[in-house]
């Protein structure tokens, strides 16, 4: 087997030879008349009429049979076989020696079916569209290193058909979610990614510096506070699909750059939004999963049929360690350590409780489950009732939270108090605590209607639907 460097030199030599022959290996125009899928869909009509079709795409296979060469050509819609016959093409046949797997080419000719029934174009003319100098990894060396695949995603797409299919499904899932929300009367909006104060979630931000303004700014950790400013400004049903950035760890469920859908609905409450969320997820699952009664994700079986059960936060804690949230921090520390869960120095009680539930309860949930009534101190943007946050998360084993939602605080004095508590937590060492946002408080003082809001982790949803082991 040739080494990578040897293959590279051979291809570079072919590139130079093409140029010496006066052939542009990177022409501007493409003569395509049909996408490959269209050729297959209209094969009977096109083959009977003997009409010449021209397709373009990447060459993914080459097979030599004496005076004939078969090639596979692939575009984003499909793949088709091309037949190059020496007695038909005459001198042009010799040009194929400059072709390699990975090249973009075009071919024109009539359609026919082989004895095996494979739809094929017999080329009467063909040409180069883009010479590939580097070999596709799967053809020679493979591409299995996870970090390498993440860094060079374009190569991963070329080398792994399942990754390409997952990308296609990702785009289809996002499109389907958009269409569902449009159909329910929501409008799509945009909010700033660069923010003077990071807020909307407890997370460490990425910092940058605005040279023209001379101020420190942050990449958003969440769009929430800006979306609610739009509610204050008069919009009733809005959503945004976009990137958020959190300067935190990387694992199968977390990435510093990730995609969310956040939605805000004026005159709606938590329970109404919970029903809407169940309907939305049910729609997404049924649209992309064949068997929602027994769906296998990463070798475990999940039941995705509605209604989704609900479990209160205290109920989950009692199930895990026999404590309610009223117990002391010391009791939670002891309970966590007894279960092998590490606790950081001065870690707040609400974070210890949250870790306990994630480690001990989430893995038992083989059906999407609403976790409700969280601690107030863990929910600084949520309304409260009976000393519980009017909040819910949709959680499932394998990928933890799929969404986070609550009835939004619209009392400016109470929101200011919650921000002040967050500032205290920050001074006590909680780097993820939210900041006091006086501009947002001022916006609330103009009045915001009762509103419910939700954030959905698009990457986790797609990983679950496509049976991917991680969100990467």
User: Is 20 part of a structural domain of the chain?
Assistant: no
**Mean pLDDT confidence for 158-173:** 91
Choose among 191, 306, 172: nearest CA to 241: 191
User: Is 347 part of a structural domain of the chain?
Assistant: no
At residue 138, the pLDDT reads: 63
Domain finish residue from 130, 151, 175 = 130
User: By residue range, what is the domain housing residue 242?
Assistant: 161-309+367-465
- Alpha-carbon distances of 360 from 334, 336, 377, 471, rounded to whole Å: 15, 10, 21, 22
Q: Give start and end residues of each alpha helix (H) in 260-362.
A: 270-288, 313-321, 329-338, 349-360
What mean pLDDT, rounded, does the chain reach?
93
pLDDT per residue as tens digits for the range 284-329: 999 999 999 999 998 899 999 999 999 999 999 999 999 999 999 9
pLDDT at 395 over 80: yes
Ranking 145-149, 391-395, 456-460 by mean pLDDT, the lowest is 145-149
Higher pLDDT, 299 or 374: 374
Q: How confident is the model at residue 144 (pLDDT cuts 50, 70, 90)?
A: low
User: Is 21 part of a structural domain of the chain?
Assistant: no
Domain finish residue from 110, 130, 150 = 130
* CATH assignment of the domain containing 206: 3.30.930.10
Q: Highest-confidence range of 160-164, 236-240, 246-250, by mean pLDDT? A: 236-240
Claim to verify: residue 45 and residue 96 sit in the same structural domain: yes
- Alpha-carbon distances of 339 from 193, 322, 328, 329, rounded to whole Å: 40, 12, 17, 15
Structural domain count of the chain: 2
* CATH assignment of the domain containing 43: 2.40.50.140
Claim to verify: residue 300 and residue 419 sit in the same structural domain: yes
Claim to verify: residue 114 and residue 254 sit in the same structural domain: no
Q: How confident is the model at residue 1 (pLDDT cuts 50, 70, 90)?
A: low
**Distance between CA atoms of residues 47 and 37, nearest Å:** 14
pLDDT at 460 over 80: yes
User: Is 326 part of a structural domain of the chain?
Assistant: no
Q: How confident is the model at residue 237 (pLDDT cuts 50, 70, 90)?
A: very high
Mind giving me the DSSP string for 18-59? HHHTT--SS-S-----S-HHHHHHTHHHHHHHT--EEEEEEE
Claim to verify: residue 95 and residue 172 sit in the same structural domain: no
The torsion angles phi and psi of 128, rounded to 5 degrees, stand at: -90, 140
The torsion angles phi and psi of 144, rounded to 5 degrees, stand at: -120, -20
Side-chain-side CA neighbours of residue 77 (13 Å): 10
User: Is 217 part of a structural domain of the chain?
Assistant: yes
Claim to verify: residue 118 and residue 174 sit in the same structural domain: no
**Mean pLDDT confidence for 370-379:** 96
pLDDT at 471 over 90: no
Claim to verify: residue 99 and residue 201 sit in the same structural domain: no
Claim to verify: residue 301 and residue 235 sit in the same structural domain: yes
Q: How confident is the model at residue 66 (pLDDT cuts 50, 70, 90)?
A: confident
User: Is 304 part of a structural domain of the chain?
Assistant: yes
Claim to verify: residue 107 and residue 196 sit in the same structural domain: no
**Mean pLDDT confidence for 77-104:** 94
């Amino acid at each position: 087997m040739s080494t990578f460097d040897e293959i590279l030199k051979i291809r570079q030599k072919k590139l130079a030879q093409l140029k010496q022959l006066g052939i542009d290996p990177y022409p501007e125009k493409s003569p395509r008349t049909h996408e490959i899928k269209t050729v297959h869909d209209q094969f009977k009509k096109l083959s009977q009429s003997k009409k010449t079709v021209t397709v373009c795409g990447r060459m993914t296979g080459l097979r030599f049979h004496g005076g004939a060469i078969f090639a596979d050509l692939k575009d984003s819609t499909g793949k088709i076989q091309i037949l190059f016959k020496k007695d038909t093409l005459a001198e042009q046949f010799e040009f194929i020696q400059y072709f390699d797997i990975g090249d973009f080419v075009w071919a024109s000719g009539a359609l026919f079916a082989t004895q095996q029934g494979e739809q094929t174009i017999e080329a009467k003319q063909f040409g180069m569209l883009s010479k590939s100098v580097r070999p596709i990894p799967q053809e020679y060396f493979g591409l299995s290193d996870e970090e390498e695949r993440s860094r060079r995603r374009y190569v991963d797409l070329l080398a792994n058909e399942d990754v390409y299919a997952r990308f296609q499904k990702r785009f289809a899932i996002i499109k389907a979610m958009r269409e569902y929300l449009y159909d329910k009367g929501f409008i799509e909006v945009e909010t700033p990614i660069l923010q003077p104060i990071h807020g909307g979630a407890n997370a460490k931000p990425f910092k940058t510096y605005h040279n023209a303004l001379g101020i420190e700014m942050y990449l958003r950790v969440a769009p929430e506070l800006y979306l609610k400013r739009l509610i204050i400004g008069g919009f009733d049903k809005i959503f945004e699909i976009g990137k958020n950035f959190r300067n935190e760890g990387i694992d199968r469920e977390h990435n510093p750059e990730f995609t969310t859908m956040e939605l805000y609905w004026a005159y709606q409450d938590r329970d109404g939004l919970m029903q809407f969320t169940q309907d939305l997820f049910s729609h997404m699952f049924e649209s992309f999963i064949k068997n929602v009664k027994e769906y296998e994700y990463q070798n475990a079986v999940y039941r995705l049929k509605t209604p989704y059960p609900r479990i209160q936060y205290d109920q989950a804690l009692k199930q895990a360690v026999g404590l309610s949230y009223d117990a002391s921090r010391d009791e939670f520390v002891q309970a966590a350590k007894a279960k092998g869960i590490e606790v950081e120095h001065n870690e707040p009680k609400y974070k210890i409780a949250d870790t306990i539930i994630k480690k001990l309860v989430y893995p038992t949930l083989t059906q999407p489950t609403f976790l409700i009534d969280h601690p107030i101190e863990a929910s600084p943007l949520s309304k409260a009732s009976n000393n519980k946050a009017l909040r819910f998360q949709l959680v499932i084993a394998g990928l933890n939270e799929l969404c986070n939602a609550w009835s939004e605080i619209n009392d400016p004095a109470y929101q200011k108090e919650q921000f002040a508590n967050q500032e205290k937590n920050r001074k006590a060492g909680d780097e993820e605590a939210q900041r006091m946002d006086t501009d947002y408080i001022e916006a609330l003082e103009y009045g915001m209607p009762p509103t419910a809001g939700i954030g959905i982790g698009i990457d986790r949803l797609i990983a679950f639907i496509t049976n991917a082991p991680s969100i990467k």
